[in-house]
Amino acid sequence: MQLEYFDDPSIARPVLLTYSKDPSDAAALQRALAPLVAGDTDRQVQIDKLPGFRGSNLGVTRTIDNEPSFSCALNPTTWSQVSGLLEPFTQARAPRAPDVHQYLASDGPIDWIVATSRHW
């Protein structure tokens, strides 16, 4: 899975794009988020260090107050929503299926998007 940061005047807000056509990448991301969904306050997940993930540095944590930062800090309920939003990306897609994307988080100064390609 590729992680790429876009801060371009042609888009409304900066975007951290997480993309791959491989459903196992989305499933790995979903599994890595499970402790945050469960409310583990002592856990930080360094997404860019997961096997097969390349690109921008992204760490995610669980917090009570969502202070804006490049790391994504959300409460367990929101992490559960993010995990659910990843679910369609964990399923095999038809070879010629159109590329799709989903906003995972847009509460802070940066939008976090998951997609099946670099084009969202």
pLDDT digit string, tens, across residues 44-80? 777 777 787 776 666 666 554 543 334 677 788 888 8
Q: How many domains does the chain have?
A: 1
pLDDT digit string, tens, across residues 17-48? 889 999 999 999 899 888 888 877 666 777 77
Find the domain containing 80 and state its range: 2-115
- Taking the C-alpha atoms of residue 19 and residue 89, their distance in angstroms, rounded to an integer, is 10
Which tokens is 67 given? 């202070």
Is residue 50 assigned to a domain? yes
Is residue 120 assigned to a domain? no
Beta carbons within 10 angstroms of residue 96's beta carbon: 5
Q: Which residue has the tokens 């790995």?
A: 28
Higher-confidence residue of 106 and 89: namely 89
Q: How much is the pTM?
A: 0.78
Secondary structure class of 16 (helix, strand, coil): strand
